[in-house]
Each structure stands twice: as structure tokens, then as C-alpha cells.
């Protein structure tokens, strides 16, 4: 961790023990402070970013907030890839702890799916998703003037490998030609 990162991190909110217990209870098993390690620092108030929904296995970075501790983002999140010096000065190194993935709660992950519109495409996508994941949180779709179907999908996954597998298997559906991770 650089001197600038240490200075930024030293001002991070530390979690009082009572507040820490309350946050854990509200996070439905997703405890950022046990899943993510901030280099050289302990007992910090950590949150997962809702803009990019990082999941275990994603490259991640911490953003030192003003008064809320550290928010963990995917390294490719548009909110932390800014060239703004103020943003860059607030980034700190974080990494996933070794996680027993079979015991972890699910993480919401967003992605987009593109395909040539046809009858039963939506049904085929939903059926494949049902076979691949336990929880589909959101599906919305639209068709453009060129008859291209564009789906926004949120599913619950345990890690990035499971999400990549889901997206690859969706690309096997006839007329689906692309899937990609997205931010909210």
C-alpha cells in the first residue's frame, strides 16, 4: 500500500463492535469484513458496491468513502476507473479472503444477453437460467428496430466462475450471440 493509500485508509471509519453486529445481521450472510481483506488494516467498515456487484473471484479494489468506510468495487467498475486524481487517490488494495464457497451466501450479479429475436427466445433463456442458478432476481428485455433482443439479467451466484459458466451456457441457446457483465 502506498503512502497516499495509507493516509486515505487511516481516515476510514472503524466499525464499533455493536454497529458491526448490526451490519452483519442485515447483510443476509454476506459479511464484507470477513470476505474481503484490506491490505494492512483490520476492523474497517466495508460495503459491497451496488453499482457493479462484485462477486468472489472478480478483480476488486477498495474506495475510501467519506464517513462510510471502504466500498468494494469490481476493478473494472466505471465508478473507480475514472482518471480523476481525486478518485484515484481514494483507491486502496483489497483482495478476497480464502472462501469456502459452498458455505457462502449468494451474490447478485448483473449481465446483459443479446440475441436475434424469435418466438420462445425469452422462454428458452428463462428455462436455461432456471437450470443453472437457484435464484433469478431480475429479467427485463426489449426488442430494437433491427429485431435484436436485449436482456438485462440479475442472478444470484456464489462466485465469478459460476457466473461465467452461466453466461457461456446461455450463449449456447440458438440465436443468442453475446453475453457480457454490466454495471447497474
User: 175: domain CATH number?
Assistant: 3.30.70.260
* Arithmetic mean of pLDDT, 46-72: 91
Range of 34's domain? 3-101
The reply to whether 40 and 89 lie within a common domain is yes
Residue 102 has pLDDT above 60, yes or no: no
pLDDT, residue 89, reads 84
The share of the chain scoring above pLDDT 70, in percent, equals 77
Number of domains in the chain: 2
Question: Which of the residue ranges 25-29, 45-49, 50-54 would you say has the lowest mean pLDDT?
Answer: 25-29
pLDDT, residue 45, reads 86
* Arithmetic mean of pLDDT, 63-92: 86
* Arithmetic mean of pLDDT, 11-30: 42
The reply to whether 83 and 121 lie within a common domain is no
The reply to whether 74 and 152 lie within a common domain is no
The reply to whether 141 and 170 lie within a common domain is yes
The reply to whether 76 and 113 lie within a common domain is no
Handedness of CA 18, 28, 169, 165 (dihedral sign): positive
Please give, one letter per residue, the 3-state secondary structure of the chain: CCHHHHHHHHCCCECCHHHHHHHHHHCCCCCHHHHEEECCECCECEEECCCCCCCCCCCEEEEECCCCCEEEEECCCCCCCCCCHHHHCCEECEEECCCCHHHCCCEEEEEEEEEECCCCHHHHHHHHHHHHCCCEEEEEEEECCCCEEEEEEEEEECCHHHHHHHHHHHCCCCCEEEEEECCC
Last residue of a domain, one of 69, 101, 133: 101
The reply to whether 92 and 112 lie within a common domain is no
The cell numbers describing 79, all together, are 465508478
* Arithmetic mean of pLDDT, 50-70: 91
Reported as a pLDDT band with limits 50, 70 and 90, residue 27 is very low
The reply to whether 33 and 88 lie within a common domain is yes
Question: Which of the residue ranges 10-19, 22-31, 52-61, 69-78 would you say has the lowest mean pLDDT?
Answer: 22-31
> How confident is the model over 108-151, as pLDDT tens digits?
999 999 999 999 999 999 999 999 998 999 999 999 999 999 99
The reply to whether 84 and 149 lie within a common domain is no
Residue 26 has pLDDT above 50, yes or no: no
Residue 24 has pLDDT above 50, yes or no: no
pTM recorded for the entire structure: 0.78
Amino acid at each position: 500500500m502506498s503512502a497516499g493509500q495509507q493516509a486515505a485508509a487511516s481516515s476510514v471509519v472503524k466499525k464499533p463492535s455493536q454497529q458491526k453486529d448490526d451490519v452483519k445481521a442485515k447483510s443476509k450472510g454476506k459479511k464484507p469484513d470477513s470476505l474481503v481483506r484490506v491490505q494492512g488494516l483490520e476492523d474497517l467498515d466495508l460495503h459491497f458496491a451496488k453499482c457493479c456487484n462484485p462477486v468472489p473471484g472478480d478483480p476488486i479494489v477498495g474506495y475510501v468513502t467519506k464517513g462510510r468506510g471502504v466500498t468494494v468495487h469490481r476493478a473494472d467498475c466505471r465508478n473507480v476507473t475514472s482518471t480523476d486524481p481525486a478518485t484515484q487517490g481514494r483507491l486502496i488494495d483489497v483482495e478476497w479472503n480464502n472462501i469456502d464457497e459452498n458455505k457462502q451466501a449468494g451474490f447478485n450479479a448483473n449481465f446483459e444477453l443479446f440475441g436475434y429475436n424469435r418466438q420462445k427466445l425469452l422462454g428458452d433463456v428463462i428455462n436455461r437460467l432456471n437450470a443453472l442458478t437457484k435464484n433469478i432476481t431480475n429479467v427485463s428485455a426489449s426488442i430494437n428496430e433491427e429485431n435484436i433482443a436485449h436482456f438485462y439479467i440479475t442472478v444470484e451466484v456464489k462466485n465469478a466462475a459460476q457466473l461465467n459458466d452461466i453466461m457461456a451456457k446461455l450463449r449456447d441457446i440458438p440465436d443468442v450471440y453475446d453475453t457480457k457483465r454490466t454495471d447497474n
